[in-house]
Structure 1
Amino acid sequence: MILDRVTDLIGNTPILRLPVGNAALLLKMEKNNPGGSTKDRMAHNMVLAAIKSGRLKPGGVIVESSSGNTGIGLAITAVELGLRFIAVVDHHAAPDKIAVMRALGAEIRMVEGSYRDDEVAVVERQRLAAEIAASIPGAIFMNQSDNAANAGGYSALVREVIEETGGAIDAYVGCVGTGGSMTGIGRGLKAHRSGTMIVAVEPAGSIVFGRPGHPYYQSGTGTPAGDTVGLVLDYSCIDLGLQVTDAQAFETARYFARRIGLLVGGSTGGVLYTALRLIHEGTIGGNVLVSVADGGEKYLGTIFNDDWMAARRLNDPTVWIDLDRWLGRAAPAIAASDFPYLSAA
């Protein structure tokens, strides 16, 4: 297939099937999008919707608060359409993501203030993004958390999955942040097959499902304490809301790199851990869809850095033991080389 624009590369991502007992884990490889994440879909859709509505004019300015992936998607679309893009980020964003946005021509504005290493400054990001947009003629604050075009960006993903699987999806397990992907995918799958179980996964410390908030390291997912859950999230399409710890998420990402040969990001690690646990417990089964929201290539300096993990005491070998058991791998399968950072903790 020969395409004419970079944004034509968005979508039509393949599915990798991993047998898990009597079930099958279907990994929708969203990391294969041109910006390396599923957020390319919604970023492109939000820009097109803003242009169609007249909010965004030719040569206009997009301003958005982002931990990185949405910003990368917006930067790609901005380049293609001749728009200016300003990304408002905080210290919690992976340096690799910020570097990619800069490489694509995005202007980076870092929020000021003293924040903990594991604290997401999303409230200040949102405030600053709105302030910047209001101060620049022809600029709009995209506001992905409350933007209906966010969820609408995932309708093509649902159509692809139905076509790729013949519609045989028994459960979907995904991370929930702004709520766009969870709402768009959850609604779409249930509209096709009402019995599909939708499981939403947030970081431990996130407040999406009303649990007490506290800082966490997982990037681009969840809603931190002090922020409000985005208007785009439709709770009615969610059957089960669960939390996953940073250690469970990050160790699962590292496990999939060492055992499967697949680099996935931290939020995907958390979703994979949760999906495998639920399959093992018998809560879900059959064809279980998981979106590989982004790749581990963006976290080489954090999640896949031994010193970074050790300094934050995020190492947990029991996660590997659980994963070996759930995936039916013969024990012992853990090598000392998998945990070189334990001695440094």
Structure 2
Amino acid sequence: MRECLPIYAKLIREGEIRASNGSEALCLSWLLQRRVEEGSVVRIEELYPAPNLARVYEGPLQLLTEGWPTPLLKISGPPREAYAKLEWYNPFSFSIKDRTVYALLRSVEGERLVEVSSGNVAVAMGALGNVMGKRVKIYIPSAGSYVAPLLDVLGVEHQILDVTLTVEALEHLEKDIREGAVHPNQFNNDANFVAHVRTAAEADWQLAQVGKRPTHVVAGIGTSGHAAALGFYFGVKYGAKLIAVEPKDWIPGIRRVESGMKWIHWVDAAVVEVSLREAMEGVREFARRYGLLIGPSAGAVYAAYKRMEEEGVYLMVFPDNLLKYVPILDKLP
């Protein structure tokens, strides 16, 4: 899929592209989620959101696809102007992972799926699996056990493992795969990255409504799908810098680059460390200033932004809110 990046870059930079051969048409089909014919012209506007203004939906999937864009909240003016994209407005897992999982499920065949997740992907895949007629099994590292009650409500088969990181749980999928289950593979399936090129276009459209162009993108890295895609899009279009946030110790939903991730290596990024204590201080400060209960990884993103000294327009991605972490709040600093 990496061969598609120059094609996407031309579309982002120039606003349109002609699919001059079959390979280009295939790359554009993947991005636009429809068949693109060789020789046809694709315009960037097709990636912009088309919200359902009446907010009346014929089915649950439309809550997702016609519910975009998620809100963009201005939290600071110049000289370090900042906007936060509130991804808990996605309806199934109340997180950015609804976008990821929807793209993953569209990219694979099969009715029986197996995945590993420490939290949001588990809930999103369970919920969307129900909606899309898939039977889902989730392996959960011990640190993500707080989502097990939600999976019980969804009727999703799951198993909690005595490992810390999601990537350590991958070997447990082998038996299920031998027995015919399909692994959508949030860590390696390029549908993850491509989904968030669309997320970036959505945020770009929103910022354009208020005459803004981001100079910096601040995002946490878990699989690195959304951080890398936003860094790619805004780097190509405006030369924006990507600030990729990793945990100094442990923060739910994000991990360190050396634990193994694919897409962060496709882009230029300044990687910064944030501790769990700093992240939770960010959560509390944001709640007391803006009244919003952001999740720990969003707290880490906010903490990283607060350290920044360069002037400009900052786009932050807040992946989820705090509510699903209530069972472990007393264990967090």
Task: Tell me how large the CA RMSD over aligned residues is.
Answer: 1.9
Which residue number in structure 2 is paired with residue 134 of structure 1? 178
Deviation at 1:197, TM superposition (A): 1.1
Paired residue type of 1:190: G
2:113 and 2:246 map into 1 onto residues whose CA distance is 28
Give the share of equivalent positions with the same residue, in percent.
24
1:253 corresponds to which of 274, 278, 283: 283
Contact 1:94 1:299 in 2 (8 A): no
Which residue number in structure 2 is paired with residue 89 of structure 1? 140
2:95 and 2:302 map into 1 onto residues whose CA distance is 16
What is the TM-score with the length of structure 2 in the denominator? 0.77
Deviation at 1:224, TM superposition (A): 8.0
**More helix per residue:** 2
Deviation at 1:80, TM superposition (A): 1.3
> Could you list the per-position Cα deviations for residues 189-220 of structure 1 after superposition, in whole angstroms to 9, with x for gaps in the alignment?
22322x1111101001xxxxxxxxxxx33112
Contact 2:213 2:313 in 1 (8 A): yes
> Could you list the per-position Cα deviations for residues 272-296 of structure 1 after superposition, in whole angstroms to 9, with x for gaps in the alignment?
0001110xxx23x322111110000
> Could you list the per-position Cα deviations for residues 211-260 of structure 1 after superposition, in whole angstroms to 9, with x for gaps in the alignment?
xxxxx3311211487x4x123x2324233111111110112112222332
2:252 corresponds to which of 201, 204, 219: 219
1:69 and 1:268 map into 2 onto residues whose CA distance is 13
2:144 and 2:113 map into 1 onto residues whose CA distance is 19
Which stretches in structure 2 are left out of the alignment for 5+ residues?
1-53
What is the TM-score with the length of structure 1 in the denominator? 0.74
Specify whether residues 218 and 154 from structure 1 end up closer, same or farther in structure 2 by C-alpha distance, changes over 3 A only. Answer: same
Verify: 1:162 aligned to 2:207, yes or no.
no
Which residue number in structure 2 is paired with residue 98 of structure 1? 148
1:266 corresponds to which of 296, 308, 314: 296
1:149 and 1:80 map into 2 onto residues whose CA distance is 19
1:41 and 1:123 map into 2 onto residues whose CA distance is 21
Contact 2:97 2:121 in 1 (8 A): yes
What SS is found at the alignment partner of 1:301?
helix
Which stretches in structure 1 are left out of the alignment for 5+ residues?
51-55, 205-215, 315-345
Please identify runs of 4+ aligned residues in structure 1 that moved more than 3 A.
none
Which residue number in structure 2 is paired with residue 73 of structure 1? 124
Paired residue type of 2:277: A
Which residue number in structure 1 is paired with residue 312 of structure 2? 286
> Could you list the per-position Cα deviations for residues 126-156 of structure 1 after superposition, in whole angstroms to 9, with x for gaps in the alignment?
1112332323x3x111221111111111122
2:74 and 2:267 map into 1 onto residues whose CA distance is 25
Paired residue type of 1:39: K
What SS is found at the alignment partner of 2:182?
strand
2:126 and 2:323 map into 1 onto residues whose CA distance is 18
Count of aligned residue pairs for this structure pair: 272
1:254 and 1:64 map into 2 onto residues whose CA distance is 32
